[in-house]
Chain A
Amino acid sequence: MEKRRLIYLDNNATTPCDPRVVDAMVPYFYEKHGNAASRSHQFGWEAEDAVDYAREQIAALLEAEDKEIIFTSGATESNNLALKGVFEMYAKKGNHIITAETEHKAILDTCKHLEKMGAEITYLKVKEDGLVDLAELEAAIKPTTILVSIMWANNETGVIQPMREIALICEKHGVLFHSDATQAVGKIPTLPREVGIHLMSFTAHKMYGPKGVGALYVSRKNPRVKVTAQMDGGGHERGMRSGTLNVPGIVGFGKAAELAKAEMHEDAERLRRLRDKLEQALTQLEETKVNGNINSRMPHVTNISFKHVEGEGLMMTFNQNIAVSSGSACTSASLEPSYVLVGMGLGDDLAHSSIRFSLGRFTTEEEVDYAIKAVTEGVNHMRELSPIWEMYKDGVDLTKIEWAAH
């Protein structure tokens, strides 16, 4: 393979900063270095103005009020604050929280922690297409239920949950609705008030902003939601999140939101076309499967299983040139394949054989064309090496073999 620039198709892990974002941030590292909480001098006022402006830019993207945006260090903190904060604040009403098995670890691990604190958690299974079953969700609600937390779009498959329908169920039963919208905000319309979401987590670095800054949307009216602060000291962010604000990061976050609002539609259409091109070309290969509901999915993501090829090995055939993620967790100590794919009923073997491609604002058609070629060659190479591909081709029923699990 010819030497070329490394192609980045892992935008669900993190996006590069848009240069316009970085340009907006730079002055806040130098001459405008003030602390937004310094009320007594020009440096502080300037920083506070910058934070206020960024808050407005982000609120505009969500069609929310600026006071409904609470800055955090990222989506993991936002998810922690939402779940733990609601659990503490609404303890008198109940202790039951409903979520789904395919949520991000920032939700699942927080729920595990809350279980130790006396919470009762229902982990909904998802259907084969990755969507939650609305009837099951409604049936899980009981008098002690205080919160439903369902992600907007899945990080591994891009599958978009039926947000409006879930919100209606929550409204009907008087239960708060939180969404981890990390993968959706800035890429598709995410309007919490219009949909009926009361708390929403998101982060800058998935929408061409910097790492280390995120936000939690907290509804201020109908209903007015409050969360108990999880970090004490100073009472910043309306008392919900203390700590000196990351001013340059917040400025960048604001700029990223402004750009997303202006360019979202165009970006999404362009990426949908490129994603479809990639997906259609790669599924021309024999024995491939696209994971997740293709009609309710983020425009820039495709997750494909290449049967009888192990994902990490496949990545190794092209990772000098292309960066993607695999559902095979062979690199982690656990050796467990993706729980998201397994939760959708994919066998462990197919989960090990999956690759996630996530395109972004800076992905070009030429890069997609190159990826099609390189991945196709990689799959063919790995299948030549694969004993189970050979057996499949020879008509051996792989399910009848007694494998020695190790």
Chain B
Amino acid sequence: MAYSTKVLDHFKNPRNVGVLNKDAKNVGTGLVGAPECGDVMRLQIEVDEETGVIRDAKFKTFGCGSAIASSSLATEWLKGKSLDEAMTIDNMDIVEELALPPVKIHCSVLAEDAIKAAIKDYQTKNGIAAEAKVEAATA
């Protein structure tokens, strides 16, 4: 099974590799997967507190080429998006963009999980998730 050109591109030139200060109030960190499963992704977002827009995103991934490409692509897509927009990124968008074969779909699922986990971490830190829940409950 050969890798797609896009997977190879992200693998060879991964975008936004690195680390953000996980203790900063405006940084959300998502750590998903497990070493035993052969995939661990850490995806971080830095949110502009004025506008609520994702200013920066960084990742590090332990995994196969498709896992690395999925998380690299995710960081590219996250930058400049609002949290609500970021929540709409679906794993199948990643599958389509990278032309992942069926056995690699789990890599895209993991990337979606990492995005959601990072957003949730940010919201928890800033008390946003709780508010959203209250609103939902009263609506």
A310 touches B62 (CB 8 A): yes
B103 touches A310 (CB 8 A): no
Query: What 0/1 pattern do residues 37 to 65 of B give for CB contact below 8 A with A?
Result: 11111100000000000000000111111
**What number of residue pairs across chains A and B have CB atoms under 8 A from each other?**
96
Chain A residues with CB under 8 Å of B3's CB are 316
B64 touches A388 (CB 8 A): no
Q: Does B1 contact A (CB under 8 A)?
A: yes
Query: What 0/1 pattern do residues 300 to 312 of A give for CB contact below 8 A with B?
Result: 0000000011111
- What CA separation (Å) do A219 and B5 show in the bound complex? 54
Q: Does B81 contact A (CB under 8 A)?
A: no
Question: Across the two chains, which residue of chain A brings its CB closest to B3?
Answer: A316
Q: Does A330 contact B (CB under 8 A)?
A: yes
In this complex, the interface size class of chain A, counting residues with CB under 8 Å from chain B, is 20 to 34
Q: Does B129 contact A (CB under 8 A)?
A: no
Q: Does B127 contact A (CB under 8 A)?
A: no
B33 touches A349 (CB 8 A): no
- What CA separation (Å) do A387 and B117 show in the bound complex? 16
Of the stretches B11-19, B83-91, B118-126, B131-139, the one at the interface is B11-19
Q: Does A389 contact B (CB under 8 A)?
A: yes
Least distance between A318 CB and chain B CB atoms (Å): 12
B40 touches A403 (CB 8 A): yes
B35 touches A388 (CB 8 A): yes
B60 touches A385 (CB 8 A): yes
Q: Does A144 contact B (CB under 8 A)?
A: no
Least distance between A332 CB and chain B CB atoms (Å): 7
Do A387 and B61 form a contact, CB below 8 Å, given A331-B1, A333-B103, A335-B106? yes
Question: Across the two chains, which residue of chain A brings its CB closest to B60?
Answer: A387
B65 touches A312 (CB 8 A): yes
Least distance between B51 CB and chain A CB atoms (Å): 28
B60 touches A313 (CB 8 A): no
B17 touches A385 (CB 8 A): yes
B33 touches A386 (CB 8 A): no
Offer 9 A-B interface pairs, CB within 8 angstroms, sorted by A. Answer: A310-B62, A310-B63, A313-B62, A313-B64, A313-B65, A348-B36, A401-B31, A404-B32, A405-B36
Additional pairs, 7, CB under 8 Å, beyond known A310-B38, A388-B35:
A316-B64, A347-B36, A352-B37, A386-B61, A387-B41, A388-B62, A403-B40
Interchain residue pairs A-B with the least CB separation, the first 7? A403-B34, A349-B35, A348-B36, A387-B60, A387-B42, A352-B38, A312-B64
